[in-house]
Amino acid sequence: MDKLSIEVLKELLPEEKEIKVPAVKPRGPQADHWTPAILLERGAYLRKMAKHGDGSASETLKEYPQHFTMLSFRSRNGEAEVHERFADVFYVLEGRATLVTGGTVAGARSMGPGEMRGDAIEGGTRQELRAGDVAHVPAGLPHQMLVAAENTFTTLVIKIQEIP
């Protein structure tokens, strides 16, 4: 009951000295839910951002204690990456790309603690990803997304912290 309601009740019931306000139950953890339509709408926005940028755009949807969710759009190749403490789970919403895993990162450079980037993967394994596919890349495994010139790629990414 809000303050205004309490004051109105006091006016209507002046003989009451105290009005008991029902206890509000604290809200527990809430489930997050994104429909494909919502994700694709956000993906269309990222597509516009990428068009005016370098061909890729992403946004963090939500951060949690041990993981976070992102939405990513690409119309160009990504850099080669290695995350020491995070696994990546990709759920492809639309488009297609080639996921390269394993091998070594050419031109590797540190981007911060536990994060390496580079120009390309040398000697990796290639797997084509299409809408509806799910791919898991464990922490420590070099990986790179390649997008052919005529393709685009929109994916939900779940980055999960792995304890070494």
pLDDT above 60: residue 90: yes
- Residues 11 and 133: their CA atoms lie apart, in Å, by 63
Angle at 144 between CA 133 and CA 48, to 5 degrees: 75
Residue 55 lies in a domain: yes
Residue 108 lies in a domain: yes
pLDDT above 90: residue 86: yes
Provide the number of structural domains found in the chain.
Answer: 1
pTM of the model: 0.80
Residue 121 lies in a domain: yes
pLDDT for 5: 55
Q: Give the domain range for residue 140.
A: 28-161
Residue 7 lies in a domain: no
Q: Is the separation of the CB atoms in 92 and 131 below 8 Å?
A: yes
- Least reliable range by pLDDT among 3-7, 45-49, 109-113: 3-7
CATH code of the domain containing 112? 2.60.120.10
Instruction: Please give the torsion angle defined by the CA atoms of residues 48, 49, 50 and 51, in that order, rounded to the nearest 10 degrees.
Output: 50
Residue whose C-alpha is closest to residue 159's, from 83, 100, 55? 83
Report residue 80's pLDDT band, with 50, 70 and 90 as the boundaries: very high
pLDDT above 90: residue 124: yes
Residue 64 lies in a domain: yes
pLDDT above 90: residue 20: no
pLDDT for 14: 53
pLDDT above 60: residue 4: no
